[in-house]
Amino acid sequence: MRYDAYDKVAVYAQSMRRLLSLEQRPDKQLKYIDFIDIYGDLSEQEQQQYQRDYPEEEHAMMGRLARARQEGWQEGQREGVSAGIQCGAASVLLAQLKLKFGSEVNHRVREQINRADTDTLRHWSEQILSAQQLQQILASQPGK
């Protein structure tokens, strides 16, 4: 759509204002903000006009963006820590299996171990103490 510069900035501001009133989830707000930014395609001059003419929306959006980015960063940190713990547990189990059974495990078993969650990996690491065969370990499930 084509608008003259003033109308384009007003439509952009109205879109942001409606977004603030209709969507409360920060993750979705970020997606919609990206859509509005791409579709609005404000020039540098239009962005300056928006900041000047609509300071409340600009301030509210910047606060929400900062909060959403912080929440996203924290979620990424949690996911990274969880993935690191899972990777470390899989590595320890593979080393234990090599020590217990005297050779590297085959590719299929390695993939099964790498896909397992941390509770299952912990359980298998405990089962290695009493198991006589690899399949006894991999067949056992946590809590059973």
| Residues 76-121 pLDDT 10s | 888 989 999 999 999 999 999 999 998 888 999 999 999 999 999 9
Exposure string over 54-67, b if 16+ CB within 10 A, otherwise e: beebbeebeebeee
Closest residue by Cα to residue 94 from 111, 115, 110: 110
Say yes or no to pLDDT of 2 above 70.
Answer: no
Distance CA 128, CA 33 (A): 51
| Residues 33-62 pLDDT 10s | 888 888 888 888 888 888 888 887 776 666
Cβ pair 85, 52 in contact under 8 A: no
Where exactly are the structural domains of the chain? 5-75, 83-139
Say yes or no to pLDDT of 66 above 90.
Answer: no
Higher pLDDT, 17 or 110: 110
